[in-house]
Every structure is written in structure tokens, then in C-alpha cells.
Amino acid sequence: MSSDKPLLSQFEPSYAPNPQPHHHRRHSSLKNNSLGCLSEATPISSWVAHETQNCKAYNLKESEENFAPAEGKTISANFLERPTLQPAGKEFWSAELHKQCPPRERKRLVSWGGVMDLRHLKALEISGASSSRVQDLNRPQTSRRSERFLQISMQLEENIPHHDNPRLIHINDPKKTNDKFGFSGNEIRTSKYTLLNFLPKNLFIQFHRVAYLYFLAIAALNQLPPLAVFGRTVSLFPLLFVLTVTAVKDGYEDWRRHRSDRNENNRETLVFQLNEFHPKRWKKIQAGEVVKIRSDETIPCDMVLLGTNDSSGIAYIQTMNLDGESNLKTRYARQETNKLVLEGTTISGVVRCEQPNRNIYEFMANMELKGQRFPLSQSNIILRGCQLKNTEWAIGVVVYAGQDTKAMLNSAMSSSKRSRLETYMNRETIWLSVFLLIMCVVVALGMGLWLKRHETQLDTLPYYRKNYFQKGKEGKKYKYYGIPMETFFSLLSSIIVFQIMIPISLYITMELVRLGQSYFMIGDQHMYDSSSNSRFQCRSLNINEDLGQIRYVFSDKTGTLTENKMEFRKASIWGKNYDNSYPDADALLDKDVEAKDVTVDRRKWKLKSEITPDPELMKLLYKDLSGEEGIAAHEFFLTLASCNTVIPILSESSSSGCDGVLGGSPVSIDYQGESPDEQALVAAASAYGYTLFERTSGHIVIDVNGEKIRLEVLGLHEFDSVRKRMSVVIRFPNHTIKVLVKGADTSMFSILHNDRPAEDHIRHVTQVHLNDYSSEGLRTLVLASRDLTGEELAEWQRRYEDACTSLTDRSVKLRQTAALIECNLTLLGATAIEDKLQEGVPEAIESLRQAGIKVWILTGDKQETAISIGLSCRLLTADMNQIIINGNSENECRKLLCDAMAKYNVNSTSCSSQITKLRRKAEPDYLELPSQTKSSSMPQQCEGEEDTPNFGPLALIIDGNSLVYILERDLESELFDLATSCRVVLCCRVAPLQKAGIVDLIKGRTDEMTLAIGDGANDVSMIQMADVGVGICGQEGRQAVMASDFAMGQFRFLKRLLLVHGHWNYQRIGYLVLYNFYRNAVFVLMLFWYILCTAFSTTSALTDWSSVFYSVIYTSVPTIVVGVLDKNLSDKTLLKYPKLYAAGHRQESYNMSLFWITMVDTLWQSLVLFYVPLFNYRESTIDIWSMGSLWTIAVVILVNVHLAMDIQRWVFVTHLAIWGSIIVTYGCMVVLDSIPAFPNYGTIFHLVKSPAYWLSILLITVIGLLPRFIFKVFHQTFWPSDIQIAREAEILKRRRRRHIGSKTDEVSS
């Protein structure tokens, strides 16, 4: 930003309005400006009036609470002059405005660049833009976003706590705390059931599946005497079996949870009682009690830290159990309480804190102690599940216990995703239901017509005699209900007989198959990451097959494509570039005697990662600190060493003291921090002689050239996504007060001095250096500083204290406070850090693109850095036409989009089919999707590869600032049309919600499958929005992993996950569903033909048990085995030819055509199955039960041989399952036919002696499968698919290898 821009950053709301360029008198000097940014000569009220005239549309208001002076303090005249203060908590306003306010910008509503900080406001900040805007939210938002995206936005809002009713915790007085408020105890319960509610609750959950209700209704109908087709017990067996298996599984899982809860609740810790610490079980701990934790113990509840064994009150904790991060974090006890703890004094006070909420990264509270009130923040609380490390003991007061702890509030499972193929399966299930209804209506009408025709003969005809004859005598009478009711009962009876047309076993089969597939995916050694010792994880079993149909991959950059292991490479200091990559830097240093001494001093600290310093910069630092350049370099590295939250971990005990450390042998030092960037910068400062080796809540100690400097930390404004910078207020030993700031260039250049022409050149050169660094793929930060006067410090401290103790809108007030000192800065320089690409990333991206998968990168890095990484990973190529969208207004973005679409012939409406034909000819790898998968709103030219024949491939590069304007409905269409016409899309400087918005843009407008992959907390919303979410076990914790469906250690594993396991899973599940439909339908149709030949009587030739066992025992195991183990192609072939993955895009394994072909084949096989035995035994006197026994074994053999024809990979287990199921069927029939009570007693023993029996089975198998065999032969011969061609190539290769091997054996013999 140029020097005439406003001083305050565009990102923070402030009560210090930005001066306009013509207000030169406001920049006169710091001495005349109490805040360094506001001029006493220009009242705020007049400034607001002037800006209102210019912008007419902005309603600038601010909370009175933000400006109210603390009790007993005064406020400067500048703030007392404000005439327009509003009631507290209503509205706030942004810090920076444009010099002009275009009319279209006044309608902007929502920020896509950051998360809202307030709940009940009528104004929102827009971050990521060139300026913050006050937004009017009177217009409804539902028309502006899709429902899915609103859900994520609302989830984020729900995590923002209410502070109207703070929680009061009386320290060391649990009785007073809990008697008045009745807080939750510390006993936790993660189980879902108890002994009393297990049965009803589990059944209630299971019957949420509509199919279960269907079979329950069938079983209930069968209990009615007129409808009792099957035995009443037998009819319940399938449903009871499914319910029992699921209940046992749920019960076992819940029993394990009960056991875990019991072990957790019965753990012990020390609690202060009767003036001593006594052991107490966790479940009995209450809010208000004082708890003592020893080293390596787990924290039992959320506690505010009161004191530690360290005099500075510092404690180190590990939060791995909470967020998966293994690096240590610091927590501090207030000096007021830590001193009392060390003295052994009993503490009595009140903690006022926010109500329990899920936000583990924020805590707002204050403490009243001896009449004083001081703030508490996230750095003062330790959460349940964390572990105390490198600290002998720590004491705290319980503020949240049990179910109120943040860990328990975050333990809820995210909603499960649903497979796309399962959705299509439901469509086919509806068709099967229609077939079922048609068959039942045919049977019912047939029965009614037959009864009407033979109404006078019912006493003499079989099946319908009114009287029941027994031993030649007339017995009891049948209940005859008349033709209408008999017809209705026949309809219901038919539904019972044909019930398995809807395969209830399919649900269990799919779950078991997915479980087996997950087992093999987890055990795949090719997806094991040895560097992080992490295996592939399947966190969701519902969407395995979706991995085979992915069309879009949305990837984060840092930590996903790159290693997220930062290395300091270059620095720009006071306008001069310094390169850190000198291979012989140490040799160059040794040429100088003084440099040798520097090296000796520096080697007192042994860093975990050695960094080779620039010799010229080292010489500047240790020889010339008098000039401007030397002073800037000195402050530059002081800023690196102090403006961070890094924790130095020394190999020796801290009790040895600083002097002892500095005077002894080399000390190993390891830096622990939440950000790898910070760790790299602090390590770089140490390499140049500025070693941070001690940090407490109130001070840091830095070894500068062997000289120990103790710096007092007066305050720290941590980095946030709105300000995009971090600052620390430091008091030096000479009592000088400085503000040291580092941040993104977009947020830093706007707050530098703009009235110093001498520094303009330095700023310009630094900007050039930043562009050069970004073009090399390096991550950049800008450093600046300024001195604070006593008045500025006093005003800032008062505001800072008020903001820190506030329980309402603390983050907003802290940003406003930071704006007071983060202005009029002096530029020191910039840093460049290298984040190397992960191994195999370019190859993986190239393979995914060959597979027809579009890879989009969504990153928060600079545009130049993203482009450089895109080139490195082969996502961008030199022949691509880059379309860059960097707009600062809605009109500008619209113009850029329209110009790009016009230039490259991208149509926003439906295009002619001729364009698609031209593109198909121009691109040999053009992949056209089936018509049923295309979105009606998607242009035809956007369906295949994305570039047009008249131009080279296109690459769209867009920044988050532009997305602020574009992600509105009126520009979303243009962005969608342009983006889907491009081969590559890079989104830079995007916020987490913008990532989710991009994913939702594709999901909402196409039927394509999307996958999002990331490694950090900022990727969670994107991962949850996509159809498939993949988390990377990286350096930024495990938030992404915990929110994902699948997790892996490296991005390169995505290639194998999709191209191999995704392809296998989709092919297996697709065939599994079709085969289950076929298997059940052929059985039902066989019964249907029989009923038509028995006067529509709904009687069955099969025993009740045979009907039940058919799906449960006779044919279930082969289906599961094939679904888990079958492979149509080897993994080597699938990886070698990525284009084979496009079979999933074309839905070759499961589509409507395959369904209808399967149903036609089923119809033929059922006719053969029924009429062949009827023809063979037409002259015999075979009884009906013998015929039913023949049909039972024939249908089992038929469907198993049908399955065997389609198996691509035969292994021992497959043979065992296929042929073993036939043997098991025979065994079960022998057992059932050996029971005298059954009507089919002895039938199997007579049948096997008849040649007609074996001839019938042979004819049924051959005739039934012959059309299918002929169809497959012709199809594979004349219209082979890519899969078939690749499979034949595999077979030929194996035969050739076997032939060569046999020849070798002959020669050797």
C-alpha cells in the first residue's frame, strides 16, 4: 500500500479512524499525538461527519463499552469528544474505509475472509479485502449461499459463547460454588446405553432405516391367521437376525465405552481438602476445588492455573489427547496467585468466566483477588486430557468439570456422509418396489378372477374348499371372507411371499464388505509413512466406493503438498538482500578473526537443525551497529527472537541458571511452537547470534553475542486471521519501550510510516525482494517496529487491560487495542522461508490429471508463492494461459471475469454440441460423462478436459480478496463457468470459509464427486464440505485428521488411494449391489411363476426355512468374499495407466442400463429355473416338496455359477466360498429333510437317486447362463472396454512370463 493510504490495517475494527490523505496535519509527529495514530487537531466527530459525506452509505457506530474508561481512570479528550456513542454490545465498525465508496459495494453483506467475532451484531468485518467494510445485514442471506455452506457458517457461530451470564467460581469453596449454581460433576459418560434403556433405545435407532420398518411390517402381517404364509416364528427370523447382529455389535462397542468411562472416572488426583492435598477420584471432583497435578499426569478437568513450582508461574503442557499436537505449549499462572501458592497461602477469590463452550483455542475470564481484578485468557487455563510436562507440579482451580469440559463438548461425532452409489441404489430399490407391487397386484387380481369364475365349485376344488377333510371325514370349516376380502388378503400374502425382492441382507453385506475393504486399505504397506510412523486410517466406512468416482480434488498447499518443515533461506534487511544458502559460509567466516569469535560464541548453543548464516550479514551484525542499516539488522533479529510464542527447551536443567548455561559447555536447545514458521525464524535468529533461551509469562531472555539481555514483555497481540500479524510490546533494560511487529505484507505495508520519503526507497526495494522470494516459492513475512512514548504506553496499557478482562467481544477489543500501537511503524525488512515439496507430489498430481481428476489448490499463501509451487509440482505448465483475477471491487471482478470468458470463448450459457465435438477431436484424452451425471446448469464445453481448441490449456489464478466479491450469487455463475473451463485453478490468500465456499460452488452446481485434502485446522470446513475428506497427519496438529473420512501421512498416497483402492472399491460395490438385486429377484420370480400355476394361491413349494436361509446362509458368504477380494486389474496396471480410473467417471460398474440388463437376464433365468424341472418331471408323480427341494438347490447353484462367471481374480478363499456355499446348502437340506416333523421329510434322499434330478440342475445352469455367456463373449470381442483390454494385456504378460520361465527351466535341466 502506498504511503498516502490510511495508517491502520484493513483488518481490525478500531475506534481510531483512518485519516484521509489530505489530512496531512494528523501525521505531524508522534510527540503531538497521544496515540500515535490520532491527531488532537481533528476531532473524531468531525472526521465521522466528513467521511459520512463522502460515503453516505456507511453507518458508523461503536459500542460504548469499547470506549468506557476503567473505573477510577481518566480518558483522553479525543475520546470524550465522540457524540455518537451507542449502547454496549450493539454494533462495531471497521477501522479502514476506501477513499471512495462505489454504490454496488454498499450492498456487500458477508465476509468470506474471516469468522465473525460477535453474535448479535448488524455489522460484519470483511477480511482478505483491500479495506474493511461495514456491512448492513438487514437483507436475508439464504439467497446468497447454499444451505450446506450456511450450515458450516452457523456451526462456527454456535461456537461463539454467550457472556451475558458469566459462570462464578469461588476458589477453594466448592460448596458455595455448586450449591448456588448446580454445576456438572466431573463424572463423564461417553456410552450411549444403560441396562434399562439399551433394548428400546437401540431398536429405536435401528428402525430409523426404512427397510427395517418394511420388514417389520411384513413380519407383523405374517402373524395374522389369514396371511400366515410362512410359520410365524420363521417369518421373524431374518429381521431378528439382522437386529440381533447389529445390537450385539452396538452392545459390545458400548460395553467398551462403559469400561473406558469407569477407568477414567476412577483415576485419582490430589485435591486440596482440610489444608492438605489428599487423593480423590476424578468423578468426585467439583467446580471450585483446588487440584494439584504432578509431572506427566493427565489433567482431570478444565482448570485455571494458580501456581507452579517455577517462580515465574510457567507450566508446559502437551495437548496431544485434545488436538493431536505433540509439541509443548506454555501456560502461565498469574504472578498474583503464583506468589501466594509458593508462599503456601490459601487462596480465596472469585473467577468469572464464560459459559462452557467448544472453543478449545479461546478462554475469556477474569479473577477477583483481594479487591483486585485481573484478566485470564487461554494462556491461563489447562484443559482436561492434556498432560503436564517438564514441570514438577502445578496447582489450579476447577472451572469446568465432567461434561462441561471443552474436551467432552468436542467429543461429539460429526454427521456421517452418504455414498453416492448408495443413493443410486435407493433409486433402483424404488423400481424393485414397483415390480413387487405389480406382481402382488397380478396375483391378487388373478385370485379374484379365479374365485369369481369358480365360485360355485369352491367346495370341491383343492386349495379353496370351504370344508377341511381329515381321514375322509368332514372336519372344521375354513374361514371364508368373500371374494373382495380374499383378494385383499391375497395381495398382502403376496407381499409376504415376495418380501425378499427388497434385499434386507444387502445392508449388512455392504457394511461387512466395506469393513473388509477398509482392513486391506489400512494394511497397505504402500500407504505407510515411515517418517511420521502413521498408517492409513479409515475413519468412515460409508463412502469407500466414492473414492472411485472423484472428479475434483481440492488441496491445501502448506503441509499437504509441502512438508511444512520450514527452513530460513533469505532475508531483506533495510533494503538489502541476504542469501542464507552459502555452502562455504563457515569457511568465509573463518577468514575474519572477529567472525571466528562470533562463531565460538554461537556454538555455545547447539540447535536441532543447523543453519548456515550469510557471512556479509554476520559481519554487519557484529561490526557495525552504529549506522541505520546496522541498527535495523539488530532490531530485525531481536524481532525474530522475541515476537513469537516459541518455547525453548534446554537439554540441561534450568536450575543451573542463565549464567551457568552461558558459561558452560555447548547446550542443546530445541524450540517448541505451534507454528513451524515461528520455530524456523527463532532458529534463524539463534544462528545469527540472537538466541532465545528463556521465556516466562513476564519476560524473555536472549543471548546476543554472548551477552544476556532480559526483556520485559508488557503485552502480546497474537496472530489472528483478521489482522494477519503479531506484535509484542517490549521494555528494554535501558527502559526503552518498543513495539515489534511481524505479519503478512498485505497487512504490514498499510501501517508503515507514510510521511518519511527517505524510507520510500527501502519500502520499494523490499517489495521487489518480496516478489522475488514469492516467485521462488518461498513464504514471506514483513518485520517492523516503533518506539512508544510514555503517554502511548499508558493509553495502550489501559485499553489492553480493559480488553483482556472483558467477557464480551474480547477478541474485537484486543484488535482495536492493537490498532493503537500497530501504526506508524518503521520497516525493518522481510524474511523468506522455504517449505519443500513432499516426496512424490509432482508425480501424484500428474497421475491424477491423467485420470481425469481436476486438482485445485486452495492456499492462504501469496499469489506468487502459489504459482511457484504450482510450477514445481507440475500443476502449472509453461504452455498454459494464466488467467489472473485480482479485483478490489465487485465491478472490477465482474469485468475481469467477463473479459477472460470473452477472450477464451467461455460461454456462461448452454453451448452448442459442436463445441464439444471439436474438443473431443482436439483432445485424445477427452472424457465424456454419461448424460445422467451431468448437471443441467453446467456448460457442455466444461464437461471434459477444460481448454478450448483455439487456445492452449487454461489456468485460473484468483485471490481471496476477489472471492469476497465473487462468492455471491450474481458472480458465482461466471466464476463457475470460467473455473470449470480451466485445467487448473489456484486460489490464493483464501480464508477457511472461502475454501468451503469453493467446494460448495462445485457441489451445488454439478453432480461431480469432490475430495478435499488438508492438514490443518483451517482446512476442516473444506474437508467437511466435500463428498470425501482426507486429512494429512502433518506438523499442524490433527484437527484435519479428526474431521476427515480418511487420513494418511503423505499427499502422494492419494494417488494409490484413488487409482487403486478407489477403483477396486467402486467396481466391487457396484457389482455387489447389482448381484444382490439379481440374486433375490431370480428367487422371487421363480416363486411368482409357481404361484401363477397354483391358482394364485400364494402357497410355496419351498419350506419356510429354505426361504429364510437363502439370503442369510446359502448365498451370502460368496457375495462378501468377492466384494472384499475380487480385483479386475492389478495395482501395477492401475498405477501405470491412470486413465483406467475414468471407468468410475463413466459409471461403468453401476448404472441404470446395467440394472435393466440385469433384470432382463434375471427374468430369463427365473423362467428357465421354473420350467426346466417342470418339463423334466411332466410325466412323473413327484410331490410338491420334492420339486421345491430341487428348485432350492438349483437356484443356489445357478446364482453361484453366475457369480463365478464374473469373478476376475480366483484365490483359495474365493473357491472355498463359492463351492463351499453349495456344499453347505446340501448339508442344510439334508438336515432339514431328516426332521420328521417337517413336510419335506426325506425328499432329498429320494431325489439324488433320480437322473432327472441331476439333468435338471445341469440344464438349468447351462440354459440359464448361456445368453449371458454369449453376450459377454460378443461384447468383449467386438466392444471391449478399457478395463477389458488392460486385463487381457495382463493375462498375455503373465503367460509370456510363464512361458519364458518354462523355457529357462528346460535349458537349465
- 1050-1090 tens-digit pLDDT: 999 999 999 999 999 999 999 999 999 999 999 999 989 99
Contact between 33 and 41 (Cβ < 8 Å): no
The pLDDT tens digits for 42-75 are 333 333 333 333 333 333 333 333 333 333 333 3
Q: What is the dihedral of CA 1015, 1019, 1021, 1024, to 10 degrees?
A: -40
Q: Among the ranges 400-404, 926-930, 1181-1185, which has the highest mean pLDDT value? A: 400-404
> DSSP assignment of 540-565, as one string?
-SS-GGGGGSEEEEEE-STTTTEEEE
- pLDDT the model gives residue 812: 87
- pLDDT the model gives residue 154: 44
Contact between 184 and 404 (Cβ < 8 Å): yes
- Residue 314's pLDDT band (boundaries 50, 70, 90)? confident
Torsion 632-637-642-643 (CA) sign: positive
- pLDDT the model gives residue 625: 65
The pLDDT tens digits for 546-556 are 999 999 999 98
Q: How far is CA 935 from CA 29, 847, 916, 954, 1150, in A?
A: 62, 26, 15, 22, 19
Alpha helices, DSSP H only, in 19-111?
44-55, 64-67, 77-80
Distance CA 382, CA 316 (A): 10
- Residue 659's pLDDT band (boundaries 50, 70, 90)? very low
- pLDDT the model gives residue 8: 29
- Residue 479's pLDDT band (boundaries 50, 70, 90)? low
Q: What is the dihedral of CA 231, 232, 236, 237, to 10 degrees?
A: -40
Please compute the mean of the pLDDT values over residues 755-774 and round it to a whole number: 87
Please compute the mean of the pLDDT values over residues 844-873 and round it to a whole number: 87
List strand residue ranges (DSSP E) for 125-183, in order. 167-170
Bridge pairing between strands 328-332 and 1046-1048: unpaired
- pLDDT the model gives residue 6: 33
3-state DSSP percent of the chain in helix, strand and coil, to 5: 50, 15, 35
Residue 1203, number of CB atoms within 10 A of its CB: 23
- pLDDT the model gives residue 1129: 92
- pLDDT the model gives residue 783: 96
Contact between 660 and 670 (Cβ < 8 Å): no
> DSSP assignment of 356-379, as one string?
P-S-TT---EEEEETTEEEEE-GG
Please compute the mean of the pLDDT values over residues 76-88 and round it to a whole number: 34
Please compute the mean of the pLDDT values over residues 928-944 and round it to a whole number: 38
- pLDDT the model gives residue 1201: 95
Residue 284 has pLDDT above 70, yes or no: yes
Alpha helices, DSSP H only, in 454-504?
483-497
- pLDDT the model gives residue 474: 59
Distance CA 516, CA 752 (A): 60
Chain-centre distance for alpha carbon 1076: 33
Of the listed ranges 98-112, 238-252, 442-456, the least confidently predicted one is 98-112
Amino acid at 530: S
Alpha helices, DSSP H only, in 626-740?
628-642, 657-663, 676-687
579 is catalytic: no
Q: What is the largest CA-CA distance in the chain?
A: 128
Q: Phi-psi region for residue 22, left (φ > 0), alpha (ψ -120 to 50) or beta?
A: alpha
Distance CA 1264, CA 1248 (A): 21
Give the 3-state secondary structure of 169-205: EECCCHHHHHHHHCCCCCCCCCCCCCCCCHHHHHHHH
Please compute the mean of the pLDDT values over residues 243-257 and round it to a whole number: 84
| Residue 1174 phi, psi dihedral angles, 5° rounding | -60, -40
- Give the whole-number percent of the chain exceeding pLDDT 90: 34
Residue 1294 has pLDDT above 60, yes or no: yes
Judged by DSSP in three states, 805 sits in helix
Distance CA 585, CA 1195 (A): 81
Residue 1207 has pLDDT above 80, yes or no: yes
Residue 225 has pLDDT above 80, yes or no: no
Judged by DSSP in three states, 1108 sits in helix
Residue 4 has pLDDT above 70, yes or no: no
The pLDDT tens digits for 1124-1150 are 999 999 999 999 999 999 999 999 999
Q: Quick one: cell of 340? A: 501466594
- pLDDT the model gives residue 230: 58
Judged by DSSP in three states, 1083 sits in helix
Distance CA 303, CA 330 (A): 14
381-382 β-sheet, strand order: 276-281, 268-273, 290-294, 393-400, 302-308, 381-382
Report the chain's mean pLDDT, rounded to a whole number. Answer: 77
- pLDDT the model gives residue 599: 45
Catalytic entry in 302, 546, 556, 1161? 556
Listed residue (1195, 1197, 1217, 1202) closest to 1117, CA to CA? 1217
Place of cell 460409508: 542
Distance CA 1241, CA 1231 (A): 10
List strand residue ranges (DSSP E) for 185-327, in order. 268-273, 276-281, 290-294, 302-308, 314-318
Distance CA 737, CA 711 (A): 10
- Residue 1181's pLDDT band (boundaries 50, 70, 90)? confident
pTM of the model: 0.70
The pLDDT tens digits for 955-970 are 999 988 888 888 876 7
CA contacts within 13 A on the Cβ side of 590? 4
Distance CA 1053, CA 992 (A): 24
Q: Among the ranges 1098-1112, 1139-1153, 1290-1304, which has the highest mean pLDDT value? A: 1139-1153
CA contacts within 13 A on the Cβ side of 11? 31
Please compute the mean of the pLDDT values over residues 683-687 and round it to a whole number: 92
> Please, is 1273 exposed, middle or buried when counting C-beta atoms within 10 Å of its C-beta (0-12, 13-18, 19+)?
exposed
Amino acid at 535: R
Residue 252, number of CB atoms within 10 A of its CB: 10
Distance CA 696, CA 1226 (A): 78
Residue 1306 has pLDDT above 90, yes or no: no
Residue 87 has pLDDT above 80, yes or no: no
Of how many residues is the chain composed? Answer: 1309
> Please, is 479 exposed, middle or buried when counting C-beta atoms within 10 Å of its C-beta (0-12, 13-18, 19+)?
exposed
Bridge pairing between strands 1009-1014 and 381-382: unpaired
